[in-house]
């Protein structure tokens, strides 16, 4: 299977390629909100094609986000129902089918709890694409921001005021100097550590 055959929404491969070109070999990338693995398998492919070594971690609660956004739609309901209340099995099967299961670590957990598993300033890149409601995005930013290393990126999907006002509002509140990038993405670069 190829990542492009996996159901889902994904438009930031250019950020994945930029991350692999930017960060030192051995760095860790975390994707928060992996759904069925479309973007996660793409990242694994980008890393493999680079010939460089990175740690890739996917984090997802695997029970769906429920109804959200201005469309008030539950986009994960079918996958959750098919999996008997979770899509974790399908996510893992897709990683296996794409040949990425041995290169990607999965953490099935709510986002803030997963963030607590990582040391502060240990991650080169964290990409947020979990629940898109304002309070959830704030909690994700608050949980993951300390984990990003100086010079690292905290970024996210669906930076679109029309469809996802909660994402835009939370990012503007917590990270007013974040920049739009790629297609409907946002990115904040953690300032380098001051010289000693």
- Please report whether residue 139 resides in a domain: yes
Helices and strands (H, E) in the chain, number of each type: 7, 7
The one-digit pLDDT tens for each residue of the chain (196 residues) are 999 999 999 999 999 999 999 999 999 999 999 999 999 999 999 999 999 999 999 999 998 888 888 788 888 888 878 888 899 999 999 999 999 999 999 999 999 999 999 999 999 999 999 999 999 999 999 999 999 999 999 999 999 999 999 999 999 999 999 999 999 999 999 998 777 7
pTM above 0.85, yes or no: yes
**CATH number reported for the structural domain that contains residue 128 in this entry:** 3.40.50.150
Picking from 10, 8, 132, the residue whose alpha carbon sits closest to that of residue 71 is: 132
In this prediction, residue 152 carries a pLDDT of 98
- Please report whether residue 136 resides in a domain: yes
Q: Interior CA angle at 66 toward 12 and 176, to 5°?
A: 50
Give dist(CA 32, CA 124) in Å, integer: 14
- Please report whether residue 71 resides in a domain: yes
- Residue 157's domain spans which residues? 3-189
In this prediction, residue 48 carries a pLDDT of 97
- Name the pairing type of β-strands 185-189 and 179-181: antiparallel
Which residues in 27-49 are b (16+ Cβ under 10 Å) and which e? bbbbbbbbbbbbbbbbbbbbbee
In this prediction, residue 186 carries a pLDDT of 98
Tally of domains in the chain: 1
In this prediction, residue 65 carries a pLDDT of 84
- Please report whether residue 196 resides in a domain: no
In this prediction, residue 79 carries a pLDDT of 85
- Please report whether residue 138 resides in a domain: yes
């Amino acid at each position: 299977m190829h990542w492009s055959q996996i159901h889902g929404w994904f438009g930031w491969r250019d950020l994945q390629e930029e991350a692999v070109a930017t960060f030192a070999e051995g760095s860790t990338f975390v994707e928060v909100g992996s759904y069925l693995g479309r973007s996660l398998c793409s990242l694994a492919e980008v890393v493999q094609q680079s010939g460089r070594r990175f740690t890739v971690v996917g984090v997802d609660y695997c029970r769906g986000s429920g109804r959200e956004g201005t469309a008030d739609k539950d986009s994960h309901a079918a996958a959750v129902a098919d999996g008997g209340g979770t899509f974790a099995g399908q996510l893992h099967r897709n990683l296996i089918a794409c040949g990425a299961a041995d290169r990607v670590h999965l953490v099935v957990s709510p986002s803030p709890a997963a963030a607590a598993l990582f040391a502060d300033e240990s991650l080169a890149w964290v990409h947020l694409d979990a629940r898109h409601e304002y309070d959830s995005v704030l909690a994700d930013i608050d949980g993951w921001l300390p984990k990003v290393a100086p010079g690292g990126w905290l970024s996210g999907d669906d930076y679109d005021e029309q469809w996802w006002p909660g994402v835009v509002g939370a990012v503007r509140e917590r990270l007013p100097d974040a920049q739009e990038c790629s297609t409907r993405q946002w990115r904040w670069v953690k300032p380098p550590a001051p010289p000693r």
